[in-house]
Amino acid sequence: MGVRLSPVTTDFLQSAPLRIVVTQRLGASREALFRELTQDASTWPQWWHEVSRAAYTGPGPYGVGAGRAVSLRGGVRFVESVLVWDEPERFVYRIEETNVPGAHAWMEEWLLTPGQGEGTTLRFTMAIEGHAALELPLQAVRPMVMRSIRRAMRRLEARAQQAG
């Protein structure tokens, strides 16, 4: 498929040379948002339009150690493993393999904290290490990536509110 990435630990979320962090206040509950994030990976393209396909790679029930396969529009592919599944607070996965040239390590975290009143503060962190040929263009498109994440969060919120 591509390149095997470094098996970094969750400390990488703070130490990565490139971090993209988006925080959004949402009206849905942490429980509903966490369910939408974790229960059925195949629904990700419905709320994150840059994702063309996502699926768990083994039988359920899913949790720490579960594998996922994710494809983005344009042909980028990831093989991931779930590192943290702390319902309803934290969901972390590490990219194990990808076809993204120059990637060395990659991890993503969804952190859900109680918001004021009802609702949730959702923070998404993308942590990446790679060649300058990867990191520099990602820095350049950071505003577009952040807009994409915010749009995805709003669609995730709508799904979570519909599901209750």
Domain total in the chain: 1
Segments in 23-141 forming alpha helices (H): 30-38, 44-47, 132-140
pLDDT (tens digit per residue) in 8-45? 999 999 999 999 999 999 999 999 999 999 999 999 99
* Residue-range definition of the domain harbouring residue 93: 3-163
**Sign, CA torsion 112/29/66/95:** negative
pLDDT (average), residues 144-148: 96
pLDDT (tens digit per residue) in 94-125? 999 999 999 999 999 999 999 877 899 999 99
Q: Which two tokens stand for residue 89?
A: 């607070």
Separation in Å, CA 93 to CA 37, 69, 84, 116, 133 = 12, 11, 7, 27, 24
Domain CATH code at residue 107: 3.30.530.20
